[in-house]
Structure 1
């Protein structure tokens, strides 16, 4: 284990300490205007010119059978910023290194799934490519950074073996704080977190609306493997606990361009993590400079469409971006 564990404590004091500046962070892309292709010989000390006006989206495209489509060209895509079509300035299908976080629900209700979840985390860490880095967060009624960013899969394996299971569930806080950490501290442009949870939200400071708004400011895809309880009784006025959990997980994944999975049995977990790993490696990168400029603040919706005249294509990417304040 590298570094010293520190607590991501949720509360007003923590919000002042951790988010005194982060709540005002812009969500604008910090990427090269013409990002270089992957170069195995490149060193970590190389410096590239940054153009903060370029918005870069990680885009996955699937056919009607949910198979990834990897043979598209720049001219197959259309990008719209607040319904205004944009000129694509950057396009790449190169495999990019990932700054990836594992966010593990270690509450008491997840204990029966412990062995399979640990195996899933280890698989994703061992699937590392050159330039990848990882961190690990475990959460109960609060979230703990169990392992800071590290390029060594063995560090993650050691850390996940040593986490303690049992307690409540602060799912929203864990996702928000993990996404913020990935966004601020990850060295790669492509950033993602993989969350394992039953979705039984109980102890978070943030509510759903607040958390989704904050996620709009981060360039982090959220993948969630959900194990919601089988509960179909929503009472007279409300939806069931399961339906609420499923909807919450789906909303988070869709907003960030990630994916949601709901395995019926733990035996499905190995195939799911293989799918996540492949998904992270097989995305297009598409960049544009907003034609209407970056004046003003507020979240801006982005739509990406793909067509090749042969098949129905489904595009998945994050829902938009927040321009940098002051631009």
Structure 2
């Protein structure tokens, strides 16, 4: 081993030696013999090449080890979504470990005078919640149960475009009862679910009735899956087709059956001649017998009766819903038992709004002017717009089928997305109807709200009467 180390040292010296005598002497020293034929020089050259080759291999190994990436610790990364196996849940996050204080303060220690005093924190009782200054739809019927609390739905539209205006605040509204400004204690713009009574006028001409029948698919689409709908028809009498139900197969079936109904014949009634009485000779029926007299049937349009019946049944529905009556008619009234004043009082008492689509003659541009002329035995043509104006609703005069379908969506959206104001009536509970007026402190806006309210009669307390 010692001789090998000396030999390596000699090789190093030989690489720098300039003469062959040094090479020969070093080889002779290692081998113990004299170099006479240049053998030492060949040995030195071979060891020189071996030295360089070893150096190159060593440098290559060092560089290769430096370029290898360091071994990475596997991470818990979830797999990509797969179509063949359900997604795996993410690993639960680990909570950071909080270091414990080395010297926790004793229970009786006093705070240092240099430390700022701790702020006082007020807590609410268990099970309560802190008020956030906002009202929700559910609070309307959970926080206020007094009978003299007045709720006023309001629709606000742009006068130029007719679009509903959003983003108004409570400070933008003012409510006046009999001319006296009231203090609002409730405000929300949350949408409400609907309980809607849809009334079809079968006293229209048959062409108008068949055109309306083709719009039933759009009528179904105007309601949401959470709304409740009931169907009615009227002409000379009122009929209820379905009770209040969601938009389901039962309602679709009722509308399909309604397509088979026909409207009235708009021609002149036949009261004489062979088509009315049969063949006659000299004014006498053939075969003898008395002369038959044909009189046209009495025409009726019991709009008041239809709205009253729908209102009475709407009053029994859940009060957390917005209650509306949607009438598809020309608005004529003739022959009802109920009066307009009595029907309107029921609507205002139960907070029911009337919307409608004016068809046939009521959709003409000059309808409002012609409806002021009351002809005997022709009914009143202006009752439907009067109902809508007094209850905060709206009538859309539309003539074409696409316009009628668009009116369905507008009416339901307006009724569902209203501002809801509430205030506590001052003094004792009113026994007569009160006038209401809603003002908005923003120019160029159209404000629609019911013109008043009629309180329910007070509940009598006594034996056998629930308070």
Give the TM-score category using the shorter length: 0.7 to 0.9
Structure 1 unaligned segments of length 5 or more: list them. 1-33, 40-46
User: Are 2:223 and 2:412, in contact at CA under 8 Å, matched by a contact in 1?
Assistant: no
More strand by share: 1
Q: How much does 1:119 deviate?
A: 4.4
Is residue 143 from structure 1 mapped to residue 238 from structure 2 by the alignment? Answer: yes
User: Are 2:186 and 2:421, in contact at CA under 8 Å, matched by a contact in 1?
Assistant: yes
Where does residue 180 of structure 2 map in the other structure?
A: 84
Q: Alpha carbons of 1:227 and 1:76: their partners in 2 closer, same or farther (altered >3 Å)? A: same
Q: How much does 1:35 deviate?
A: 7.1
TM-score normalised by the chain length of structure 1: 0.76
Where does residue 285 of structure 1 map in the other structure?
A: 420
Where does residue 342 of structure 2 map in the other structure?
A: 210
C-alpha separation between the residues in 2 aligned to 1:48 and 1:80?
A: 25
Where does residue 31 of structure 2 map in the other structure?
A: none
Residue range with higher mean Cα deviation, 317-326 or 181-190: 181-190
C-alpha separation between the residues in 2 aligned to 1:203 and 1:165?
A: 21
Where does residue 262 of structure 2 map in the other structure?
A: 165
User: Are 1:99 and 1:191, in contact at CA under 8 Å, matched by a contact in 2?
Assistant: yes
Q: Alpha carbons of 1:126 and 1:155: their partners in 2 closer, same or farther (altered >3 Å)? A: farther
Where does residue 328 of structure 2 map in the other structure?
A: 196
Q: How much does 1:322 deviate?
A: 1.1
Where does residue 433 of structure 2 map in the other structure?
A: 299
Identify the structure with bigger relative contact order (alpha carbons < 8 Å, sequence gap 6+): 1
User: Are 2:210 and 2:262, in contact at CA under 8 Å, matched by a contact in 1?
Assistant: no
User: Are 1:124 and 1:277, in contact at CA under 8 Å, matched by a contact in 2?
Assistant: no
Structure 2 unaligned segments of length 5 or more: list them. 1-133, 265-299, 460-467
TM-score normalised by the chain length of structure 2: 0.54
Is residue 51 from structure 1 mapped to residue 51 from structure 2 by the alignment? Answer: no
Residue range with higher mean Cα deviation, 222-231 or 191-200: 222-231
Q: Residue 457 of structure 2: SS of its match in structure 1?
A: coil
Q: How much does 1:273 deviate?
A: 1.3
Where does residue 8 of structure 1 map in the other structure?
A: none
Where does residue 257 of structure 1 map in the other structure?
A: 392
Residue range with higher mean Cα deviation, 314-323 or 243-252: 243-252
**Could you give the per-residue CA deviations for residues 135-179 of structure 1, whole angstroms, max 9, x where no partner exists?**
111112111110001023432221122133346421111012112
Q: How much does 1:318 deviate?
A: 0.9
Where does residue 276 of structure 1 map in the other structure?
A: 411
Aligned residues: 280
C-alpha separation between the residues in 1 aligned to 2:137 and 2:225?
A: 13
Q: Residue 382 of structure 2: SS of its match in structure 1?
A: helix
C-alpha separation between the residues in 2 aligned to 1:238 and 1:316?
A: 26
C-alpha RMSD over aligned residues: 3.0
Q: How much does 1:129 deviate?
A: 2.8
Is residue 315 from structure 1 mapped to residue 447 from structure 2 by the alignment? Answer: yes
